[in-house]
Amino acid sequence: DVKVTQSSRYLVKRTGEKVFLECVQDMDHENMFWYRQDPGLGLRLIYFSYDVKMKEKGDIPEGYSVSREKKERFSLILESASTNQTSMYLCASSLDYNEQFFGPGTRLTVL
Amino acid sequence: QKEVEQNSGPLSVPEGAIASLNCTYSDRGSQSFFWYRQYSGKSPELIMFIYSNGDKEDGRFTAQLNKASQYVSLLIRDSQPSDSATYLCAVSGPNRDDKIIFGKGTRLHILP
């Protein structure tokens, strides 16, 4: 079975802190994605990557950056956390561009 | 702007009945269609996918696709309380660069 893991289930940070969210998949998938999910807004794509060192902006990249140094790992970085970045963050991976498998999510609270 | 529309619900269905979840999409070129189940506080889990017109059955789940009407549905037979969740419809085009577009989900509540 595909396994996608995320570094933390719950995280509390302060405004202005730099935040790293890590995602690792163990199925040699080429494509990896970061979403945030908020009530009433659904899943929104932040960034995605279809190869090592490649990254593409999604629908809401502002305030975020990503890093993909190894195929299995995709990191989301909040350079200076703000309260409006309080959300559930979901990482996903896929072999092709379709069937995405999600990690358990990180619920981030920015105070 | 490509869109995927779902009724937010909640849809309440008695235990043992058939639950019918619907989804419409705006991009006529869409080729791949997915249903994800998401329990409260958990991440989405892929339960069905369909690529061609018609029905696809997997256990108690049936996905139905009508490309002419740009409509995809999920039927859950013999609904169980454990089916209570939010169901996300997702749609993708034929190309590698086509992003998956997710609907906002329908909340399903199975009444014991």
Residues A2-20, mean pLDDT to the nearest whole number: 94
What φ, ψ does residue A14 adopt, rounded to 5°? -105, 155
Residues A3-11, mean pLDDT to the nearest whole number: 94
pLDDT at B94: 76
Q: Do A98 and B99 touch (CB under 8 A)?
A: no
Q: Which of residues 54-73 of B touch A (CB under 8 A)?
A: none
Q: What is the DSSP string of A1-43?
A: ---EEES-SEEEE-TT--EEEEEEESS--SEEEEEEEETTTEE
Q: Do A43 and B34 touch (CB under 8 A)?
A: no
Q: Tell me which residue in B43, B95, B103 faces A102 most closely, judged by beta carbons.
A: B43
pLDDT at B51: 87
Say yes or no: B1 contacts chain A, CB-CB below 8 A.
no
pLDDT at A97: 60
Answer whether residue A95 shows pLDDT above 70: yes
Question: Over the stretch A28-71, which tens digit does the pLDDT of each residue have?
Answer: 999 999 999 999 899 999 999 998 988 999 999 999 999 999 99
Q: Do A100 and B104 touch (CB under 8 A)?
A: no
Q: B8 has which bridge partners?
A: none
Contacts of A90 in chain B (CB under 8 A): 43-44
pLDDT band at residue A72 under the 50/70/90 scheme: very high
- State the Cα angle at A24 between A21 and A27, rounded to 5°: 160
pLDDT at A2: 64
Q: Which amino acid is at B13?
A: V
Chain A residue at shortest CA distance from B100: A98
How far is the C-alpha of A33 from the C-alpha of A75, rounded, in Å?
10
Preferred mutation among A30, A89, A98, A106 to probe B, highest tally of B CBs within 10 A: A98
pLDDT by 10s per residue, chain B, length 112: 789 999 999 999 999 999 999 999 999 989 899 999 999 999 999 999 998 888 999 999 999 999 999 999 999 999 999 999 999 999 988 776 778 899 999 999 999 9
Contact A1, A100 (CB under 8 A): no
Contacts of A97 in chain B (CB under 8 A): 92, 95-98, 100
Q: Half-sphere exposure of residue B56, counting CA atoms within 13 Å on the CB side?
A: 17
Say yes or no: B4 contacts chain A, CB-CB below 8 A.
no
Contacts of A96 in chain B (CB under 8 A): 96
pLDDT at A88: 97
